[in-house]
Amino acid sequence: MTIRHHPDQALLLGHAAGALDPATALIVATHLSFCAHCRAEMAMAEQVGGVVLQDIAPVPVSETALATVLSRLDAPQAAATPPASNDGTPAPLRAFLGRDLSDVHWRRLGPRLGYVTLYRRGPLAMRLLRGAPGTAVGQHTHRGTELTLVLRGGYRDGTGRYGPGDFQSAGSDVVHDPVADPGEDCINLAVTCEGLHFSSALQRLAARLFGF
């Protein structure tokens, strides 16, 4: 599997520093499960971060810090290793879902599109999206940034082709109409920090009704 499209350095550094919001952190972590190149970049970023931490002067902690840490040792712990996937669902996503992609219950968005909203905080949303082979999403642009990771199948738009593991970042300067590849359903993980703006009035109405 050849991955041609990757998160930018700012996202990888933010992930290494633990500075990303939960939705963006999950989509980057899921890409990393596909991509050896970005895992190597992450390892380098973490090494740089470790060197920086060594140069930071120590600061005093509160008198209750030790008691707080000890109390957390008694708290219930999540399983260290989630059960193995039966269908190849990437581990970070499966841990979040608590199930495989094949067990997801999709909401219909027209006859050939489906979605599941996984996370929403204000304008920030994370969704799974599924399109039947050959399905066009509809021409649109973005009021903020849209991050998309292909999990299964693939799609094409004016910027290129995206297959499993490929990561696309699209802002307000990108107007595109992704079309699912033939052969199998295209399943993507997408994070948006604002709504989409569709060219079609009918699709704009549908987007408002379904929370896009």
Cβ(196)–Cβ(207) under 8 Å? yes
User: What's the CA dihedral at 25, 77, 117, 106 to 10 degrees?
Assistant: 120
Tokens describing residue 43: 């390892």
The residue type of 125 is A
Query: What predicted TM-score, i.e. pTM, was given to this entire model?
Result: 0.81
The whole-number pLDDT of residue 51 equals: 45
Identify the pLDDT of residue 197. 84
pLDDT at 79: 44
Task: Report domain extents, the chain.
Answer: 9-71+90-97, 101-210
The whole-angstrom separation of Cα 11 and Cα 6 is 10
Give me the pLDDT at residue 140, please: 87
Intra-chain end-to-end CA distance of the chain, in Å: 31
pLDDT of residue 74: 57
Mean pLDDT by 10 residues, the chain (212 residues): 92 92 96 96 74 53 60 51 81 95 92 94 94 92 92 96 96 91 96 86 80 80
For 101-210, which CATH superfamily applies? Answer: Jelly Rolls (2.60.120.10)
CATH of domain 9-71+90-97: 1.10.10.1320
